[in-house]
Structure 1
Amino acid sequence: MNTHDPAEGADRPAIASSDPTAQRARARQHMDAEFSAFYRATVRSLVGFLVNQGADVHVAADIAQEVLTDAYRHWDSIRHHKAWVYKAASRALVRRFASVEEPVADIPEPTSLLPRPDRIGEWEAEHDALLLVRCLPPRQRQVLAWRLVGFTPTDIADHLGLTAETVRANLKRAKRNVTALYRTVQGEEQ
């Protein structure tokens, strides 16, 4: 005959779950898993987003890493993770453009985001669209970069402090300009 009282077993998990240290550890594990999944899903497109706005690949990789590190530190207080990361990265890029730095003569060291920094030029040459996008005026390049990562014109307007109509007009001009540039390049190659 079993002398074990089922009610005693039911009490134990409740005691374990009320332990603040155990609750914090479980919450931390959940946050780490959530951030890890977000990082893997976001980092490459964030680097591309910055490159589309005119950053060199190694600069974009550095900014993406810095912004994602900040996002991890403040993960619980950020309500809209994707929007926060893209907005912070865009602002960091503007600050980088505004700062006066001497160009680095050495090739950057390899990182997980940029395993072969000596091949940046080759990578850019293979991506003709990037060359076309870089010919656009800064505002058109900026709104196009936001659109390419899935933000709507209304979202972009909110993040950049513009009207949705201004964003749509810049997207339309960007499309028209890229199309014209592409046709010009195609005509020269024939």
Structure 2
Amino acid sequence: MNIHDPGDGPKLPAVASATANQRGQQHELRQAKDEAFSAFYRATVRSLVGFLINQGAAVPVAADIAQDTMLSAYERWNTIDRPRAWVHTVASRALLRKMVSCEEQPVEQVPETTSLLADTDMIGEWEARHDLLPLLRALPDRQRQVLAWALSGFTPGDIADQLGMSDEAVRASLYKARRAVTAAIKGREEGQ
């Protein structure tokens, strides 16, 4: 006796269809993630390099740290609540680790240019046009760090949250940094 219920038909195509739907949804989610991250990357990476330069990094070092930070951000993209603050925090910490490690990595040739590092001749011209860089580099580390965050558009409250400082300490460091930069600019002008 052959008992056959038409409802017991082949289930394999239904499973394959469900798996295909899942793959399609995963593809759409990944595509949405890639598009969102790409927009964030384009809007943020150059200013992140500038932020690191303002903290005392050389241009090639700043570009490398920014790229590494962006790679980490992409890997964690779905778990990051405030991506702009996150990349600035991670990059700042990476720069501090690099500065503290005191590792020298001599090279025989200047690294090849990338989209983040324009023509190497242009780097020197860019630095020369930015008179603020030598002034920033003359500041104590904490003042330079806090001022770099402020120049990147973060409020004292944001800076305090990201650096684990009190609002008062951030405001005091900003005040001292701005006062020192203003005095240096006045000194330059009087010396001319």
Provide TM-score, normalisation by structure 1.
0.86
Moved over 3 A (4+): none
Q: 1:90 aligns with which of 92, 96, 99?
A: 92
Query: Unaligned 5+ residue runs, structure 2?
Result: 1-16
Q: Which residue number in structure 1 is paired with residue 104 of structure 2?
A: 102
Q: For residues 67-104 of structure 1, give each alpha carbon's deviation from its aligned partner in whole angstroms, at most 9, with x where no partner exists.
A: 00110111111121111101000000001101122252
**Equivalent residues in 2 for 1:46-85, closer than 5 Å:** 46-85=48-87
User: Structure 1: how far apart are the matches of 2:189 and 2:139?
Assistant: 17
Q: Which segment drifts farther, 151-160 or 99-108?
A: 99-108
2:77 counterpart letter in structure 1? W
1:163 counterpart letter in structure 2? S
Query: Unaligned 5+ residue runs, structure 1?
Result: 1-14
Instruction: Determine if the alignment matches structure 1 residue 132 to structure 2 residue 135.
Output: yes
Q: Which residue number in structure 2 is paired with residue 7 of structure 1?
A: none
User: Structure 2: how far apart are the matches of 1:146 and 1:27?
Assistant: 33
Q: Which residue number in structure 1 is paired with residue 35 of structure 2?
A: 33
Q: Percent identity?
A: 56
Q: Which residue number in structure 1 is paired with residue 154 of structure 2?
A: 151
Q: Which one has a bigger Cα radius of gyration?
A: 2
Q: Which residue number in structure 1 is paired with residue 11 of structure 2?
A: none
Q: Which segment drifts farther, 41-50 or 153-162?
A: 153-162
User: Structure 1: how far apart are the matches of 2:102 and 2:145?
Assistant: 21
1:147 counterpart letter in structure 2? A
2:60 counterpart letter in structure 1? H
Q: Which residue number in structure 2 is paired with residue 111 of structure 1?
A: 114
**In angstroms, what is the RMSD of aligned CA positions?**
1.6
Q: For residues 33-55 of structure 1, give each alpha carbon's deviation from its aligned partner in whole angstroms, at most 9, with x where no partner exists.
A: 10000000001110010000000
Q: Which residue number in structure 1 is paired with residue 184 of structure 2?
A: 181
